[in-house]
Structures are given as C-alpha cells and as structure tokens.
Amino acid sequence: MEEDEPVQNPFPDKIVKVGKSYKSKYGSSLVTVDLSACVPDDELGDPLTNQWFFIGPNRKVSYVGRGLRLVDTGDYDKDGKSEVVFLIDSYNRGGYELFYDNFKKHVTFEFNYH
C-alpha cells in the first residue's frame, strides 16, 4: 500500500474525529480527519491521523493525503483561483506539495531523510 493511498475500510463513527477545517467564499472546504484506528495490515500500528480531504462546491470529496501541514493558500498565478501549499511532514518524508485547479492537479518537491 502506498503511504498516501486512501484507506477504503469502513470505520465506526465513534472513532472518526474531524479536526481543522477551512472554507472558501466559493463553498469549497479543506478538512482534516483523525481516526483512532490503524490500517489492519499496518505492522507499526500507526493511527490514521492527519488525513486531508478537499470538498468541492458540488460536495464531491477528494482525498488529498496524510502527513501534511497547511502552509498557505493564495492566487499565486493570478488566474482567479487559489492554490494551496502543504508542508510534507511524515516519517522519512519532507518537502512541499502545491495543489491547484481545485485539487485536480498537484506538484511535489519531496526528499527522504534516510
């Protein structure tokens, strides 16, 4: 399983905790979700924390990734749409990830510590 691949396991509502969320004036949202559970085949037993999701104005939900910290949003290329920059902060991974075109596209600058 890829580290940033979404988990397709059904979890009971009681272990799902919505964290920080941000909403644009156009109706889109960025939301973090923490689960007090882990992927069944995860040898380390790490909980599924800091999962980011983008919810478009049409209410379609897209998985963004995990192990990310929101750095900034802005219309950097002056096209009238916001771009979003995340810091990659997870085990043996660092760098930045830029999402644009309503989270349909992204570019990553990434490095490993080991």
pLDDT tens string, the chain, 114 residues long: the values are 455 565 566 677 777 788 889 998 888 999 998 876 655 555 555 567 788 999 998 999 999 998 899 999 999 999 988 899 999 988 889 999 999 998 999 999 999 988
Q: Is residue 68 a part of any domain in this protein?
A: yes
Q: Is residue 8 a part of any domain in this protein?
A: no
Quick check: 74 and 91 in contact, CB under 8 A? no
55-71 per-position pLDDT tens digit: 998 999 999 998 899 99
Domain count, the chain: 1
40 alpha carbon, distance to own chain's centre: 21
Q: Is residue 77 a part of any domain in this protein?
A: yes
Q: Is residue 7 a part of any domain in this protein?
A: no
Q: Is residue 3 a part of any domain in this protein?
A: no
Quick check: 33 and 10 in contact, CB under 8 A? no
Q: Is residue 54 a part of any domain in this protein?
A: yes
Q: What is the dihedral of CA 90, 41, 103, 68, to 10 degrees?
A: -20
Task: Dump strand ranges (E) for 7-82.
Answer: 16-23, 29-35, 48-55, 61-66, 68-74
Q: Is residue 39 a part of any domain in this protein?
A: yes
pTM, 2 dp? 0.76
Q: Output DSSP code: residue 12.
A: -
Q: Which domain holds residue 80?
A: 13-111
Q: Token pair for residue 109?
A: 């600058």
